Amino acid sequence: MKTYISISVVFLLLLLSCKKKEVMDKIIFISDKDDANLPAYTEWGYNSFGAEYDGDYFLVSEKITPCRITYNNNQLQFLLHGTVRNGRDMKLLFVFPSAPVSNYADLGQLNDVEIDLSDNDCAVKIIQGNVETTLDVLEGKLHFKRVQLLSIDGLLDRAILSGIFELRFIQSGFPANISSGRFDVGITNSVFSVY
């Protein structure tokens, strides 16, 4: 009888732990008080992002994993994946030099780091469908305002990256911009890779 109760308690604790992770993986969109089309800037790991994109909005979608991070060859690749008008799929990829990162916990080194996107060592790409366009960035920044390491039940579960971004660039020969960009995303092993 005691064994049955012990197994039941362990199973219940595992189930509750899984539920916490499910909640942490959800996308929570809280509208900004100044522009309800954008998510509010938060630092709670809501797995949300958004920006104005040349008269439109680039936003998180509940049907798409919002963020992926890859470290390769001394560069970090920070990918935001969402949609623009009419649900068109779009990816915004920031590539910049980085100190070595071997796991998502190492992302703590990005806390309060601002990247100058016009630097020659940086690249910003827009990917729509099978078309990848490297932007000719005139000016811009990607600011990781806060990085938090989150533990659940005493075990490290994810890094929460929160920050802002904006850039002006040339697209198809004309000036364009991405403004009021903000992100608040949870990074776990499932969206982080090193190669």
| For the chain, percent of residues with pLDDT exceeding 90 | 82
The CA distance from 135 to 182, in Å, is 19
- Please report the pLDDT score of residue 54 as a whole number: 87
Name the stretches of the chain with pLDDT < 70: 1-23
- Please report the pLDDT score of residue 60 as a whole number: 97
- Please report the pLDDT score of residue 24 as a whole number: 76
Asked if 147 and 110 touch (Cβ cutoff 8 Å), the reply is yes
The CA distance from 57 to 75, in Å, is 28
Angle at 175 between CA 169 and CA 178, to 5 degrees: 50
**Global model pTM greater than 0.75:** yes
